[in-house]
Amino acid sequence: MKVVVLGTRGIPDIPGGVETHCQALYPRLVELGCEVVLLTRKSYISNQAVDRWRGIQLVHLFTPRRKSLEAIVHTFLGICYARWNSADILHIHAVGPALLIPFARLLGLKVVMTNHGPDYDRQKWGKMASYILRLGEKIGGIFANEVIVISEVIANIVQQRCGRSSHLIYNGVELPIIATSNSFIEELNLRSGHYVLAVARFVPEKGLHDLVEAFDKAQLDCHLVIAGDSDHQDEYSSQLKANCRDNPRIVLTGYITGEELHQVYSHARIFVLPSYHEGLPISLLEALSYGLLPLVSDIPANREVNLGSQYYFCCGVVDDLADKLTSFSKIGLDEVRQEGFRDFVRDKYNWDKISEQTHSVYQLIDKK
Superfamily of the domain at 2-172+350-366: Glycogen Phosphorylase B; (3.40.50.2000)
10 Å Cβ neighbour count for 143? 19
Which H/E stretch holds residue 229?
none
Query: Helices 17-31 & 351-366, crossing angle to 10 degrees?
Result: 70
- Classified by CATH at the fold level, domain 183-347 comes out as Rossmann fold (3.40.50)
d(CA 287, CA 206): 16
Region 322-327: mean pLDDT is 95
| Residue-averaged pLDDT of the chain | 91
Long-range contacts of 293-299 (CB under 8 A, 24+ apart): 293/269, 293/328, 293/331, 293/336, 293/338, 294/270, 294/341, 295/270, 295/271, 295/321, 295/324, 295/325, 295/328, 296/272, 297/207, 297/273, 299/275
Answer whether residue 271 shows pLDDT above 80.
yes
Task: Please report the pLDDT score of residue 123 as a whole number.
Answer: 60
What residue spans define the domains of the chain? 2-172+350-366, 183-347
Answer whether residue 63 shows pLDDT above 90.
no
Q: What would the pLDDT profile of 166-209 be if each residue is shown by its tens digit?
A: 999 999 998 999 999 999 999 999 999 999 999 999 999 999 99
Answer whether residue 57 shows pLDDT above 70.
yes
Task: Please report the pLDDT score of residue 337 as a whole number.
Answer: 66
pLDDT band at 259, cuts 50/70/90? very high
Q: What would the pLDDT profile of 209-254 be if each residue is shown by its tens digit?
A: 999 999 999 989 999 999 999 877 889 999 999 999 889 999 999 9
pLDDT band at 333, cuts 50/70/90? low
**Amino acid letter, 239:** Q
Alpha-helix residue ranges (DSSP H) falling in the chain:
17-31, 70-84, 101-106, 127-143, 152-162, 183-187, 208-218, 235-245, 258-266, 282-289, 300-304, 318-329, 339-348, 351-366
pLDDT band at 37, cuts 50/70/90? very high
Is 183-347 the same fold as 2-172+350-366? yes
d(CA 16, CA 358): 20
How much of the chain, in percent, has pLDDT values that exceed 90?
73
pLDDT band at 122, cuts 50/70/90? low
Prediction pTM value: 0.84
Region 128-154: mean pLDDT is 90
pLDDT band at 124, cuts 50/70/90? low
Most trustworthy range by pLDDT among 44-53, 76-85, 226-235: 76-85
Answer whether residue 17 shows pLDDT above 90.
no
Lowest mean pLDDT among 113-127, 279-293, 301-315: 113-127
pLDDT band at 93, cuts 50/70/90? very high
Task: Please report the pLDDT score of residue 232 as a whole number.
Answer: 75
- Residues contacting residue 129 through CB under 8 Å, at least 6 positions apart: 68, 120
Answer whether residue 279 shows pLDDT above 90.
no
pLDDT band at 272, cuts 50/70/90? very high
Answer whether residue 125 shows pLDDT above 70.
no
Answer whether residue 126 shows pLDDT above 70.
no
Region 359-363: mean pLDDT is 97
- Residues contacting residue 40 through CB under 8 Å, at least 6 positions apart: 8, 9, 10, 11, 58, 59, 60, 61
pLDDT band at 88, cuts 50/70/90? very high
Both ends of the chain: CA-CA distance in Å? 14
Cα–Cα distance list, 275 to 50, 157, 279, 326, 355 (Å): 34, 19, 11, 19, 27
